[in-house]
Amino acid sequence: MTVLVLRRVLIIFHIFWQCRSLSFAQVKFGKDAEGLVGGQVGHPAVIVIPELLGITEDVRKQATRIAEEGSFRVLILDLHQGDVGGKDVDANALAQNISLEAVVNDISEAAAYLKSERSPKVGIVGFCMGGAITFAGLATSPDICCGVSFLSNGAFLGVSPETLDVDALAAKPVQGHFGAVDAGTGLPDSMTAHLLEERLRAAGNSDATVFVYEDLGHSFMNESPFPFSSFREREAELGIPVYDAEQASLAWSRVFEFLGWHLAGRTPPTDDLDDLDDDEMEGLGQEPQTPEALSKDDL
pLDDT in tens, 71-121: 999 999 999 887 777 766 676 777 778 888 999 999 999 999 999 999 999
Answer whether 48's CB lies under 8 Å from 125's CB: yes
What pLDDT is attached to residue 297?
Answer: 37
What pLDDT is attached to residue 171?
Answer: 96
pLDDT in tens, 233-290: 888 887 788 889 999 999 999 999 999 999 998 877 665 544 545 454 344 433 333 3
271 within a domain of the structure (yes/no): no
pLDDT exceeds 90 at position 46:
yes
Spatial separation of the C-alpha atoms in residues 92 and 157, rounded to whole Å: 12
Pick from 10-19, 45-54, 289-298: least confident: 289-298
125 within a domain of the structure (yes/no): yes
Answer whether 219's CB lies under 8 Å from 238's CB: no
Longest distance between any two alpha carbons in the chain, whole Å? 68
202 within a domain of the structure (yes/no): yes
35 within a domain of the structure (yes/no): yes
What pLDDT is attached to residue 7?
Answer: 58
Residues near 144 by Cβ (< 8 Å), separated by ≥ 6? 47, 107, 111, 122, 123, 124, 137, 138, 172
3-class secondary-structure state, position 13:
helix
How many Å from the N-terminal Cα to the C-terminal Cα in the chain?
56
Answer whether 273's CB lies under 8 Å from 289's CB: no
Phi-psi region of 165 (alpha: psi -120 to 50; beta: other; left: phi over 0): beta
pLDDT exceeds 50 at position 296:
no
Question: What is the value of pTM for the model shown?
Answer: 0.81
Answer whether 175's CB lies under 8 Å from 147's CB: yes
286 within a domain of the structure (yes/no): no
pLDDT exceeds 50 at position 55:
yes
Helices and strands counted in the chain (H then E): 10, 8
The domain in which residue 107 lies consists of 23-262
* Phi (first) and psi of residue 248, to 5 degrees: -65, -40
When divided into structural domains, the chain yields a total of: 1
What pLDDT is attached to residue 269?
Answer: 67
169 within a domain of the structure (yes/no): yes
**In 116-267, at which residue ranges do the beta strands (DSSP E only) sit?**
122-128, 144-151, 174-179, 208-213
Pairing of strands 73-77, 45-49: parallel
Residue 202's closest CA among 240, 248, 169? Answer: 169
232 within a domain of the structure (yes/no): yes
Confidence of residue 10 (pLDDT cuts 50, 70, 90): low
* Phi (first) and psi of residue 215, to 5 degrees: -105, 10
Spatial separation of the C-alpha atoms in residues 175 and 252, rounded to whole Å: 12
Answer whether 114's CB lies under 8 Å from 122's CB: yes
Q: What is the dihedral of CA 150, 98, 154, 109, to 10 degrees?
A: -50
Answer whether 258's CB lies under 8 Å from 148's CB: yes
| CATH number of the structural domain spanning residue 70 | 3.40.50.1820
281 within a domain of the structure (yes/no): no
